[in-house]
Every structure is written in C-alpha cells, then in structure tokens.
Amino acid sequence: MENLIIIGSGPAGYTAAFYAARANLKPLMITGGSEEGGQLMLTSEVENFPGFPEGILGQDLMKKLREQAKRFGTRLIDEKADKFNVKGKTFDVYVGKKKYQARAVIIATGASAMFLGLESEKKYLGHGVSTCAVCDAFFYKEKEVLVIGGGDSACEEALALSKFARNITIVHRRNKLKASKIMQDRVFKNKRIKIVWDSDLIEVLGDGTKVTGAKLRNNKTNKVIEKKCNGIFMAIGHKPNTGIFNGIIKLDEKGYVITDRNMATNVKGVWAAGDVQDSRYKQAVTAAGTGCQAALEAEKYLESNSP
C-alpha cells in the first residue's frame, strides 16, 4: 500500500512529487510513458518560467524537474495509467495488468492540445507550429503568423500575438467566429488581425527547419492558396486527459476535473493539479503552483488519517 500515487508528470506532477518526497511520503509517480513531461515537451524555448533569465528548452526544464523529483526519493514508473478505481478509503491504479494501491492520489495528467492530424503539422511542431501564444509570441516580433481556429482560444491567441507580430491572420473554417461577442469585438477592432473565412489549413510549408508558409483551402470553392508566414498557432482547443476518471471523479462539461481552491476533488483523498483542472491559464508556473498545493494538502490528509 503506497502513501501517495501521482498520476501524470509535467510541472504539476513533478512539483507535487518533490514536495511529497521531502515530506517523507515516498510518492510513486506514474509518469504517462510517451506523454511524460506534458505540453512542455512539445515546445522549444521557455522564457517565462521563474529562475531562468536566459530561457530554457522545454525538454530541458522537464529533465531538471524530473531529476529534482528523483533526488528526494520519488519512484518513477515510465508508463501510462490505464484504469482508476476507488476502493473504500483507498485507491487502485492499474498499469496494464499491474495494480498499485494508495491511500491518496494526485491527478496530474494534463490536457493535450488538439491538432488537425497533418504530417507537416507534426513535423514543424516546436519549429514554427505552436499551441501557446503566451509562451511563444515574443519570438515573432514583426513577423507574419497564422492562428487556426475561431473560438475564444483563437481570439485570445491572436490578441496576444498582436502585441508582437506585424500581421496576424485567423484562419477559420466557418463564415463567422464562435468566440464570445466581447472577444470578437476586440479582434475586429485590432488593425493587425485579419480573418480568412471558410478555409482549412491543409499543409504546413517549411524549409526543413522552420515554417515558411501554409496551404489553405476554401471549403466552399475548393480553391487552394499558399500564404507566407513565419509561424502557425493551433487554437482549436485542448482535451483534458481524464478518460480513466470519468464517472468516478467529477468533471465539468469540457472534461476538466472540478476542484476546490485547495485542489481537492469530489472524492476524499484525491486532488488534481495542473492543466487537467485548469482550462483558463495553462501555464507551467501555475501548474507547478497547484502541484505544490495538492502535495501539501495530501500530506495533511495522510497525517490525520494515518493507519
């Protein structure tokens, strides 16, 4: 019987891990296997995480956090959790046919950015294709960028980019935005933002190392055009990785875990941290903060419910 199992990694999971390990809880972390490290494994340089004035590559930051968690005694299983059950006051977490039991659980499985599924999109991910304007807008000063999508996320990305990029083009597959009225008004008033209606991104163009443009197809006329750009921001939504918790842990209408201000879920002894419960900010630093909160709460819970 484990004291604490942390499901998932990334800034939230690793922060929870080293806080819990320093509290002598001997946490067991199931990292997610190929998804270990979360969204930062897909980005290039991170300049907005405290303590790195020169910036740091996303993969390097995750490596440092992983090493920090291991330094204090966190045990890591580099696989993905397949099943989760509540069994009285304890919890079962399955990895394949192997069952792990715990007195407390922190969910840190994150949320995955949604993509179109293009090979070229995958090829240039982190090399001109991005999912976070707040993270990467600075690198596009006075450059041309595209934003794919038409909801609030796309509008927010475009507005964030407008502080740096020279021209931003929103590419939307319909003839009107899905975003809220206030977001639409802000976009329409911004002189740096233009919109290409009724169009789909069908190919990311590049020189092998970076994005140089995009192929867009009008879905009404089937006409294909090539548009030059330096970056493409995917803003078609995020999907929280909560499948194994459905029907057990309370989720909102978008699938995010519902927590209180202390990161507690509706199930006593289970907390959630990071993007899996945060549909608003989705930042490494906020994820780390909630990981800290969850670990401190788990420590108090285990102390007061010792066997």
Residues belonging to the active site: 132, 135-136
Q: Report which residue type is found at 110.
A: G
Cα-flanking dihedrals φ and ψ of residue 136, to 5°?
-115, -5
Residue 285's alpha-carbon distances to 139, 282, 289, in angstroms, are: 19, 9, 6
Contact 124, 206 (CB under 8 A): yes
Helix (H, G, I), strand (E, B) or coil at 41: helix
Q: In terms of DSSP H, where are the helices of 75-173? A: 119-123, 133-136, 152-161
N-to-C CA span, the chain: 11
Contact 213, 228 (CB under 8 A): yes
CA dihedral defined by 111, 114, 119, 125, rounded to 10 degrees? -60
Q: Report which residue type is found at 90.
A: T
Contact 293, 273 (CB under 8 A): yes
Q: Is the dihedral of CA 223, 224, 225, 227 positive or negative?
A: positive
Q: Which helix (H) or strand (E) holds 187?
A: helix 181-189
Distance CA 115, CA 121 (A): 8
Q: Are strands 2-7 and 144-148 parallel, antiparallel or unpaired?
A: unpaired
